[in-house]
Chain A
Amino acid sequence: MNNVLTIAFFETWLAASVRLAGPVLAVSIGETVCQRAGVLNIGIEGVMLGSALTTFAVTYSFGSPLLGLLAGIVCGLVLGLFLAAMYVTAGLNQVVVGVVFNALMIATASYTYRALYGNSPVIQSVTGFDQIEIPWLTNIPIVGPALFGQSPLLYLTLLFVGMTSYLLFRTTAGLTIRGVGEHPRAADSAGISVPKVRYLGVLTSSAFAGFGGGYLMLTAVNSYRDGITAGKGFIALAIVIFGAWNPYRVAVAAMIFGAADALQLSLQAAGVSVIPQFLFALPYVLTIVAVSGVLGRRFQPAALLAPYSRK
């Protein structure tokens, strides 16, 4: 295996890691806010799928990836409103709603694609955004292409990471969100509308999931097929936990998952036939360790998964 471990290998692997981490990181950032408000939005998997299709359809029809991306976000918001009504207003079990919603979206996306383009469509593809290559800096060995030759959406996502961290830990709004996730009754007593904050949390995660779905469509896949998100929404849940509900750590966690994902592609490209599956499973095992609280659970929002009612 020694012959594959060249600088070129690391360069492509690292660049692919960052590229693959991007869309999932975007989804994870929104989910972080939502979970900080006490709602586990499992439905982001379905939102991603719906928005990926919406982005595809709009970009295909109008030829504008920007319009497609915006349509994906709008689709995310609409689906988020529905999810919030189920989670918050109806106070239903968040796990139940998420699971049913995802199953429904898998079918709806598949159906809609066929309703739009026919039952056995010729695979069409859309062009996304071009990569931005920052001059000089992309020539830095190993890290250059990974950090300075990526899609503009990645830089936007990294900006969101910083903004979300600032929002959560440096503003009153952030304190409100965290308060609702830790102790909704106390927040309610302090005059905060728990339903309102949670609606905003679910809408944020759904909008980001919509953005992430569009991002995936416009940078990684460029054409629609069934099951295109392949559980990336669930992976985002893992990333949020592994990142201890902290945006910067979430970004690092997304990179680790992205690196594991990219390793499969890079090894295949390098012609390695002995694929080390345990390496791919490693991020999930690490997440299991993180979730199970072996290392302590002090970060998990205390009211996560608990619907709130005044009664």
Chain B
Amino acid sequence: MSSKSSVWYSLLAVIAGLLLGAILFIPFNANPLESYRTMFGAAFFTLEGLGTTFTRATPLIFIGLGTVVAWKSGFFYLGFQGSLYIGAVGATLVALSARSGHLLAGAPAVIVFASSLFVSFLFGGAWALIVAGLKIRFGGNVVLLSLMFNYVAIYFVNYLVTRPLRAVGSLPQTERFPEKAILPRLLGERNDLHLGFIVALVAVGAVLYIMRFTKKGYEFVALGLNERASIYAGINAGRVMLQAAFLSGGLGALAGWSQVLGVQYRLLDGLDQVTGFEGIVTALLGGLNALGVVVASILYGGLANGAQVMQRRTDIPSSVALMIQGIIVLLVLTGPQVQQRVAAWRSRHIARTESTGDIGS
């Protein structure tokens, strides 16, 4: 399928998904059209709603981008939850060192911002690098390895917030970050939108540039399409996979960075149990393409935001957002298959009518 027709197909899938999703409102005696109007109105047509939508989209964009880089390179990484946690740890260490009496106490906010971004990316990248290293050195399965690493990361954060970084109080969490480590709000205190969203958009541009216009991006895609052929073409497969892993793990880590510095303002136990996988689903909805990831993330961020508002006003549970997204992704995934099958059936059908015609029975 060409990229243009796949864009049209995705659009069609979104519409079909929303139509199918309309059924979900019926058990709650709600008018689907009105419910959608409430959802989309709350998510996209007020400045505050839009701010929340973009804020929700931010970690999804980071993980979606990580998924694009990893999966396009044939590195089927499912460890974004782990990367998110480890990235959150990196950001936390920098943020806590900006407290008075610590390393970055006297540093300006810009330095704290830059070093948190750097350390977080480095941590997440290194984390994914372990998986890639194990695969290359011993031939382990990336899918299974990265799933296990998620749990190690979860226990690591659990350890940090219950022991060395625990603040005084009844909850296992660090103390609140100092003001200058926190990502500034962009549209005033009443709007959730923070600087992390801008960083996410910059990351989109960077990934788009790397994948489309650089030799490295070409090597990533070549490796993902056919490992043996790319080795034959002179690509150092191991090294390129390590680079892809580092980049994708680092991008995934920024999801944790934006959550702790932009939303939660502290590291807590079980900080985010869903985004690690939802980001992958969002990337699939975006057709494993950096621009598609932005559109899909904002769509999903909006659905989730709108559904939450609706849950507060009516009985309809916010999980309808995730259901509609799941249905849309399933339609996108099965689309090429259905098309192929219909085409095969038609050509067989034509062949049969032609051959019976030839025999002239």
Bound-complex Cα distance A91 to B145 (A): 23
Bound-complex Cα distance A96 to B323 (A): 16
Pairwise interchain contact B27-A115, C-beta atoms closer than 8 A: yes
Of the listed residues B28, B144, B274, B322, the one surrounded by the most CB atoms of chain A closer than 10 A to its CB is: B144
In the complex, what's the smallest C-beta–C-beta distance from A91 to chain B, in angstroms? 8
> In this assembly, does B354 line the interface, its C-beta being within 8 Å of a C-beta of chain A?
no
Pairwise interchain contact A281-B78, C-beta atoms closer than 8 A: no
Partner pick for B147 among A114, A119, A237, A277, CB 8 A cutoff: A237
Partner pick for B277 among A99, A284, A287, CB 8 A cutoff: A99
> In this assembly, does B330 line the interface, its C-beta being within 8 Å of a C-beta of chain A?
yes
Bound-complex Cα distance A110 to B311 (A): 13
> In this assembly, does A305 line the interface, its C-beta being within 8 Å of a C-beta of chain B?
yes
In the complex, what's the smallest C-beta–C-beta distance from B190 to chain A, in angstroms? 27
> In this assembly, does B179 line the interface, its C-beta being within 8 Å of a C-beta of chain A?
no
Please, which residue of chain A has its CB at the minimum distance from the CB of B317?
A114
> In this assembly, does B18 line the interface, its C-beta being within 8 Å of a C-beta of chain A?
no
Pairwise interchain contact A288-B145, C-beta atoms closer than 8 A: yes
Question: Which B residues lie within 8 Å of A111 (CB)?
Answer: 24, 317, 319-320, 323
Q: Interface-forming stretch among A54-62, A101-109, A122-130, A243-251?
A: A101-109
Partner pick for B152 among A95, A285, A300, CB 8 A cutoff: A285
Of the listed residues A96, A111, A237, the one surrounded by the most CB atoms of chain B closer than 10 A to its CB is: A111
**What total of A-B pairs shows CB separation below 8 Å?**
131
In the complex, what's the smallest C-beta–C-beta distance from B1 to chain A, in angstroms? 15
**Binary CB contact string for chain B from 122 to 135 against chain A (1 if under 8 A, 0 otherwise):** 00000000000011
Pairwise interchain contact A277-B143, C-beta atoms closer than 8 A: no
Pairwise interchain contact A106-B322, C-beta atoms closer than 8 A: yes
A97 and B277 in contact (CB under 8 A), knowing A288-B149, A293-B140? no
Pairwise interchain contact A305-B323, C-beta atoms closer than 8 A: no
The B interface, classified by DSSP as helix, strand, loop or mixed, is helix
Bound-complex Cα distance A187 to B259 (A): 50
Question: Which B residues lie within 8 Å of A300 (CB)?
Answer: 141
> In this assembly, does B2 line the interface, its C-beta being within 8 Å of a C-beta of chain A?
no
Question: Which A residues lie within 8 Å of B156 (CB)?
Answer: 277, 281
In the complex, what's the smallest C-beta–C-beta distance from B235 to chain A, in angstroms? 23
Of the listed residues A86, A280, A288, A293, the one surrounded by the most CB atoms of chain B closer than 10 A to its CB is: A288
Q: Interface-forming stretch among B243-251, B278-286, B290-298?
A: B278-286
Bound-complex Cα distance A111 to B21 (A): 12
B residues 159-175 with Cβ under 8 Å of A?
159, 162-163
Interface on A for B, CB 8 Å cutoff?
40, 42, 86, 90-92, 95-97, 99-100, 102-104, 106-108, 110-111, 114-115, 118-119, 227, 231, 234, 237-238, 241, 274-275, 277-278, 280-281, 284-285, 287-288, 291-294, 297, 300, 304-305
8 A-B pairs in the complex with CB atoms less than 8 angstroms apart = A40-B143, A91-B337, A95-B76, A100-B329, A104-B327, A107-B319, A241-B144, A277-B162
